[in-house]
A and B are shown apart, each in its own frame.
Chain A
Amino acid sequence: MRLLPKVLMKGNEAFGEGAIRAGCRYTFAYPITPQSELAHFLARRLPEIGGVFVQAESEVAAINMVFGAAAAGARVMTSSSSPGISLMQEGISYIVGARLPCVVVNIMRGGPGLGNIAPAQGDYWQAVKGGGHGDYRHIVLAPASVPEIIELMELAFDLADKYRGPVMVVGDGILGQMMEPVELGSAEATPAVPAKPWAITGQEGRTTRNVISSLHIVPEENEKFNLELAATFAEIERVEQRYEEYRVEDAALVLVAFGTVARIAKAVVDRARAAGLPVGMIRPITLWPFPRDRIRQAVAQAAGFLVVEMSFGQMLEDVRLSVDGKKPVHFFGRPGGTVPTVREVFAEVEKIMGVTPDAQDFSTAAGVNR
């Protein structure tokens, strides 16, 4: 299949297309809704281009296959959805501990437990705060459109190699299922992947053997390793904060939302502007490192912030840490697999900006304020 320069593409397939364009040829995954089309796409495409798709017996096995393939020097990924990502957390911790690059896609669904398969953002804490055991973090990217999925998947593999760690890319069922036109430049054969002299490939051609392990049995040695990781994390926080901003310049109220919700928030900004309300939006593209520098800048000019999430308020904490009590940070969320509407969020905006009295409830359904 030769891809045309511009095609209509489904979000879940775009994750796969972005991975292939980044030179990823290995995927290990276990079936779970709502990321299935991603696995279907790669199971079909990878063998066509000399790659490998393995359906693992579990998410636990899948992430450990990723561990092995990454250690062998390959660009490799897995994809799953919330409960499956929970199962992968041990493996992700080992991957961090062994300093291996890989990409993990999480098409988030409603939880906790089996929850449902509807769009949600309730895995934010798990994604940005480490998720598994031990002191660590990893980069988390949150695309908000199908073209951006492709762009961020390519970036994800580059960042994984650059910092030798896992990069997670999060979406949800809406992003995975939506179709949008994407412009594909000429499909490169295989992009240049940095040399990996540490990979376990068999000693042949090297004078010394390579060992990959996350075990540092002497506490002081493990502390030293942890401090090396901490230095990498600090560097990532310094240089990799990414965000999109929309009509923030003169905004009195700044909405903060990521992924699917940012699309809704953008529509709210337009509606507010049409009503003469100075509202803008900051959309974190890197959930970790959180774009705190931009939020801090906005504190000077904004009267307040409104965080909107498909959860009961998780990114909210990072926004409040960034704002540091200097301005009010409001929250509106729809947890459990429900999606906030433009009308609901706009009602919150009007409430906060004093257009409508607090007592008046514009919500169509439950929703959470914090």
Chain B
Amino acid sequence: MPKTFQRPQALTDKAFHYCPGCTHGIIHRLVAEALDQLGVRTKTVGVCPVGCAVFAYDYFNCDMIQAAHGRAPAVATGVKRVLPDRLVFTYQGDGDLAAIGTAEIVHAAARGEKITAIFVNNAIYGMTGGQMAPTTLIGQKTTTTPFGRDRETTGCPIRVAEMLSTLEGAVYVARVSVHSPRHVRLAGRAIRKAFEVQLRGQGFGVVEVLSTCPTNWGLSPLEALKWLEQEMLPVFPLGEFRVPAGEEVV
């Protein structure tokens, strides 16, 4: 019988350390599958963030480098400028990319740096214990907004995909989700497309992936998927915000 489903080559055999119900594992698989499909695993350098995915270098079966908090796009810039024929991607959470690393992601996009950012948005800090993220929803309870995020004192969530899509250098910008099998498939497609944009030398690409954090949301894995769908999607609409000139938005 032919084997139709297997562990991607671009993932190592190491078991993920992620919490039960966390969707980082799905997103890792999607990235790895895209690398396999494009046949670029041995021509790829990945950049890990600080946050829950700090150990991603144990999981992605390609050359990897671990960056300081928020600096992955700068590190990726350094790598890519030295190795312009390599695929270089960052894998970053919302605290890493949208708080401490805002300058680095904005300017990597503005320069049209030929790298791809995989941006995992789960509306909370995971690793450090469930604090408010720049993407935390209004009213959402976190350990630093115990009464719910207050617009008056903490502002509103940053819509990263929309913000970056205003920059000319950001050639591919999409927001996807992994709360259902259909959305997982679409997310995989977007990630592959972002990599293709880089391989064609067209410019900067970012795929924002809405993700769950059952542990810090205080929900079961199933409830978390529902919360993502019901609460996050209205604030973070899915879709492609920028595609290379001449291509149609899916």
Contact = CB atoms under 8 A, between A and B. Distances in A.
Contacts of A60: 71, 74, 103-104
Contacts of A226: none
Q: Is the interface of A mostly helix, strand, loop or mixed?
A: mixed
B75 A58 contact: no
Contact of B68 (A26, A90, A202, A211): A90
Interface string B59-91: 001111111100100111111111100110000
Contacts of A213: 48, 57, 64-66
Contact of B75 (A68, A74, A202): A68
Contacts of B71: 60-61, 64, 67, 91
A34 to B, nearest CB: 24
Given A67-B67, A68-B65, A211 B57 contact: yes
B75 A215 contact: no
Interface in B105-141: 106-107, 111
Nearest to B84: A52
B77 A68 contact: yes
A201 interface: yes
B41 interface: yes
A212 interface: yes
Max count, chain A CB within 10 A of own CB: residue among B64, B81, B87, B103: B81
B47 interface: yes
Q: Size band of the A side of the interface?
A: 35 or more
A26 B82 contact: yes
Contacts of B81: 26, 52, 54, 65, 69
14 contacts: A28-B77, A58-B103, A60-B103, A61-B74, A61-B104, A64-B68, A64-B75, A68-B76, A72-B83, A74-B82, A202-B44, A209-B61, A213-B48, A213-B57
Interface of A: 26, 28, 52, 54, 56-58, 60-62, 64-74, 76, 90-91, 94, 98, 200-204, 209-215
Given A203-B42, A203-B63, 8 more contacts: A52-B81, A54-B77, A56-B107, A60-B71, A91-B68, A209-B62, A212-B64, A213-B65
